[in-house]
Amino acid sequence: MLERSGIGISSGIVMAKAYVFRHSEIYISHEMAEDRDAALALFEAAYRKTHSDIDAIEASGEDEKALLAVYKAMLEDPDYLLLIRSNIKERGYNAAWAVEAATDKYVSLLERVNDDFFKERIADLRDISERLMISISSDSRREVSVPYPAVLAADYLLPSEIISMDLSNVLGLCLDKGGVTSHAAILARSLGIPSVFALGDLSFHVTDDDVIAMDGKAGTVSVNPDRRTRSSYRKRMDNELRSEAELKADAGLPAITKDGFQVSLMGNIEGMEGIAAAIKAGADGIGLFRTEFLMMQPEYADEEKRNAIYRETVERMSPYGPVTFRTYDIGGDKVPKEMKIEEENPILGWRAVRLCMEMKDLFRDQLVSILKASASCHGTRLMFPMVSGSEELRSVIAFLDEVKDECRGKGIAFDEDIKIGTMIEIPSAAITSDVIARYVDFMSIGTNDLIQYTIAVDRGNEKISYLYRPLHPAVLRLLAHVAESAHKNGIPVSMCGEMAGYPDYLPILIGLGIDELSMAPSSIMEVRRRIRTLSRSSCASFANHVLSLPDAQEIENALKEFNSTYGKA
């Protein structure tokens, strides 16, 4: 029996026969082109074929359609194409080498970006480049096809392979590579396929005759499990079926503690494809619409299409709750291809409201689209990212007021009572949240950035990842201060960072007085169930206790003990 632990990507427990797939290595010659014009013509033909192949892929869901739109945008990136053509015409590389060299340069840039989402786009770029190089060499790409019901064990899977393959026999995925924010992971979760990634070289130790038992939530895999392990997995499968049934039965219940404190549970989405999942999970609305990710889709540039996306999102969610549009958090590590921004330290540079307030035409167009959407449903909310303090916030609100006046002058209808909020993700904003709260209708804590800025830890840097502690005393004291500031000013406080979606953190978050939690829709049902086992009074006492503890380790130990002894369903 071989046991491995990886990253749990998509929950589900499976025990079935294995099917192994590994990609063939592509050999690229590094000889100079004998005829540069012929090499360029070869690349152009490969480009047209690759574009045609992507167009021919049938996408069945919104996630798949969004992914293909991203692929097209990457393939059509003028800077990427210019570099490939330059490698041929000016440097004399052969066509395949030109693609490889351009891709390697882009990969090196993405690896330096301080954001897991963009680092995971490396796999997408390599997928595009591999398709180009295969077309250039006229080799055929081995298709992924699972001939019988099985757990697919592979070195990796490209997102386009997942979209293109017949998934009817795929009971689970066990991949040597891949991360939580990869497009392969997004698709696995969207398709509901139990999955474990980052399993090292597991696929090299598995054959088609083996049996794989896997737990997509725990991230564990057993190859040829012994009798005791098989029995354990069967019991876990039975427990999971019962748990899923209970969670679904609770989907219509309010997230309310035993002593009557109700927490609003909202969904985080990047596009319209997340709406159905949020509704299915019983979300009370959308707490974070990351609008910047829509900019990666070419059709989003059309004003009418952008307006339609915002309006349809509001209308579809109107029976359930409000939609919170976060204005563009672009710049830094999220730069659309048409923008030329180069900075020494982009994460602390020209981004979000700082950028939008200088690119006012872009900002104005988005604000008008959001305002138009608000006319469809009272309760639409607008939220500004990366605000550093009250002075910056006031200037952004003043610009919004100008845009509102322009809309009134043009007869554009909008909700005059649209709620305005700001994210709290910079320590300076958290510390001065008592002042900021005077100017907004709500505040939303973005823990991902707040944690790394507070304790100066790049969460994408593996060398110091052990220092990234959400329960660091400094972080918790900031959360407590923000919650207190909001309540003193009579406004609600929400949380839309990753912490919000982890049931184990709930005793502290509820105890600190967080009113609203926004998370990936897939986390909502489990969080709701946990909330209903807790009492706010006990959580408040516990949160007050942990605020007095000296370090993250003691806080983590105390939380583990609390969760193991109190409030379980």
**Is residue 180 situated within a structural domain?**
yes
**One domain, residues 165 and 306:** no
**Is residue 331 situated within a structural domain?**
yes
**Domain boundary at 137, 168, 188, which?**
137
Could you tell me where the DSSP H helices lie in 273-348? 275-280, 303-317
For 99-134, what is each residue's pLDDT tens digit?
A: 989 988 888 877 776 666 666 677 778 878 888 888
**Domain boundary at 137, 167, 201, which?**
137
**One domain, residues 436 and 561:** yes
Run of H or E residues at 474: helix 473-488
Please report, for the domain that includes residue 156, its CATH number. 3.50.30.10
Residue 111 burial (CB count, 10 A): 11
pLDDT computed for residue 342 by the predictor: 54
**One domain, residues 431 and 556:** yes
- Specify whether the CB–CB gap between 6 and 197 falls below 8 A: yes
**One domain, residues 466 and 365:** yes
For 434-467, what is each residue's pLDDT tens digit?
A: 999 999 999 999 998 899 889 987 654 546 656 7
pLDDT computed for residue 393 by the predictor: 95
Query: What is the three-class DSSP state of 168?
Result: coil
Low-confidence ranges of the chain (pLDDT < 50): 332-338, 341, 343, 460, 462, 569
- Specify whether the CB–CB gap between 475 and 525 falls below 8 A: no
Domain of 49, in residue numbers: 36-137
How many angstroms separate the CA atoms of 543 and 559, rounded? 9
How many angstroms separate the CA atoms of 172 and 301, rounded? 37
51 labelled catalytic: no
**Is residue 186 situated within a structural domain?**
yes
How many angstroms separate the CA atoms of 150 and 100, rounded? 34
pLDDT computed for residue 510 by the predictor: 97
Question: Which of 340, 319, 321, 322 lies closest to 331 in space, CA to CA?
Answer: 340
pLDDT computed for residue 539 by the predictor: 96
**Is residue 303 situated within a structural domain?**
yes
pLDDT computed for residue 331 by the predictor: 53
**Is residue 29 situated within a structural domain?**
no
How many domains are contained in the chain?
Answer: 3
Please report, for the domain that includes residue 518, its CATH number. 3.20.20.60
**One domain, residues 281 and 333:** yes
pLDDT computed for residue 463 by the predictor: 60
**One domain, residues 218 and 267:** no
**One domain, residues 147 and 132:** no
Strands (E), 85-169: 150-154
Q: Which string of b and e fits 240-253 if b means at least 16 CB within 10 Å?
A: beebeeebeebeee
Question: One of 174, 377, 496, 539 is an active-site residue; which one?
Answer: 496
**One domain, residues 207 and 115:** no
pLDDT computed for residue 117 by the predictor: 61
Could you tell me where the DSSP H helices lie in 457-520? 473-488, 506-512
**Is residue 166 situated within a structural domain?**
yes
**Domain boundary at 137, 161, 189, which?**
137
**One domain, residues 362 and 383:** yes
pLDDT computed for residue 116 by the predictor: 60
**One domain, residues 427 and 323:** yes
How many angstroms separate the CA atoms of 124 and 71, rounded? 7
**One domain, residues 158 and 57:** no
**Is residue 338 situated within a structural domain?**
yes
23 labelled catalytic: no
Question: One of 183, 377, 472, 539 is an active-site residue; which one?
Answer: 183
Please report, for the domain that includes residue 127, its CATH number. 1.10.274.10
**Is residue 226 situated within a structural domain?**
yes
pLDDT computed for residue 361 by the predictor: 86
**One domain, residues 403 and 476:** yes
Question: Which of 272, 491, 314, 524 lies closest to 414 in space, CA to CA?
Answer: 314
How many angstroms separate the CA atoms of 248 and 230, rounded? 27
